[in-house]
Amino acid sequence: MQNRGYYDQYGGAFLPEVLIATVDELVETFEKAKQDPSFWKEYADIMSEYSCRPTPVTFAENLSHYFGGGRIYIKREDLNHTGAHKANNVMGQGLLVKRMGKTRVIAETGAGQHGMATATMAAKFGFKCTIYMGEVDVQRQRPNVFWMERLGAEVVPVKEGTRILKDAINEALRDWVTNMDNTHYVLGTACGPHPFPEMVSYFQSIIGQEARRQIMERAAKLPDRVYACVGGGSNALGIFKAFLNDPVELVGVEAAGRGLESGEHAVRLASPDASVGVAQGYKTYFLQDDDGQMKATHSIAAGLDYVGVSPILAQLKESGRVRFEAATDQEVVGALALTMQKEGLIPALESAHAFAQAFKEAPKLSKTAIILINQSGRGDKDIFTVADAFNDPSWQEFIKKKAEEYHA
């Protein structure tokens, strides 16, 4: 860690002056909490009794046999409360909010899992809650919007820009500047100004701590490769951090969307299409034009179409410690279908990117190799998108009938 949250040249805290005191308070609170042994115990206890940790590691026997290569194990973050890894970070930040004495939380969300986790945390701790969500994502993640509102959160559709995750972040930052005295911004991924990249990866590291211990117990050896999808980078860093000092290959999988050649993707580290810039409070790789204007992105997974990426992952890419690949929408849907058919598991579309890349590489590995995939979330939130991708006639008929009922 370098001064003010830099990871080599990436990171930093590029903030309007009005926010500096608020962020300094957050930094001080976070640093004191890390040095307080009772804080991690309080965090671990609440994650155990409220969020069902530790989540298990599942041996995917059928998939392993199908590919005939390495043995595939899956870290089951889909079993975490609210259905994804997002609760790990949110509950940790909630404890910091209590320490700071603030009464309101705001958040951005793309896939809706972070928004749902934040709304859940706010309900448990008694905070007021506002969630910013791009209008496009509101439509394709309607089940999560429904639950956020039932949990008591105000969900604000963002109608500016490309109406996806980056635009939701912009709106959340505007809110924070206006209401910083009583409000904490629960940033959902390991991006943004310091201390968010460090703080989010700190809370998400519980994934890797568990997984490392569990895979040693199950397989009696470290994994040969660990796969995780990469949007902003929170679930990837969560599982990667425990293996950084081990002889384990770490593979981050970005969203290739409709293909790199199409330009309709969200690949920052596995393609030459991104460049280093400063936006939304930090320095990293962004998909931007020559004038520094952010490009439109695309992914079938609402949580992976972010225009930037964690500065920590940018540094790990540059150092060669993490290899980055990309999976197309078509490959992701295929991997999701195969995982459901062979194992009865329904990974989120985000997580299915990691599965897709692992499936490409598994047949080339020896039968003694160990593959560990982070299933960062469950796929029920993606019902509309997945049903459309599968072109399911029964689902289409159901939707038509429902529409007629509501119209009546």
Please identify every residue annotated as catalytic: 86, 108, 376
Return the amino acid letter for 313.
L
- The β-bridge partners of 255 are 266, 327
Taking the mean position of all CA atoms in its chain, how far away is CA 262? 24
Phi then psi for 190, rounded to 5 degrees? -85, 50
CB 240 within 8 A of CB 207: no
Distances 347 to 119, 159, 306, 386 between C-alpha atoms, Å: 22, 29, 20, 11
Nearest to 255 by CA among 349, 361, 328: 328
Nearest to 71 by CA among 80, 81, 61, 85: 61
Nearest to 382 by CA among 110, 36, 189: 110
Look at the alpha carbons of 271, 232, 54, 36 in this order and tell me if their dihedral is positive or negative. positive
C-alpha span between 196 and 240 (Å, rounded):
17
Helix axes 311-319, 196-219, angle to 10 degrees: 60
C-alpha span between 14 and 311 (Å, rounded):
13
Half-sphere exposure of 40 (CA within 13 A, CB side): 11
Nearest to 63 by CA among 369, 251, 335, 376: 335
Nearest to 313 by CA among 223, 260, 239: 239
Q: How many CB atoms lie within 10 A of CB 333?
A: 18
Phi then psi for 84, rounded to 5 degrees? -160, 175
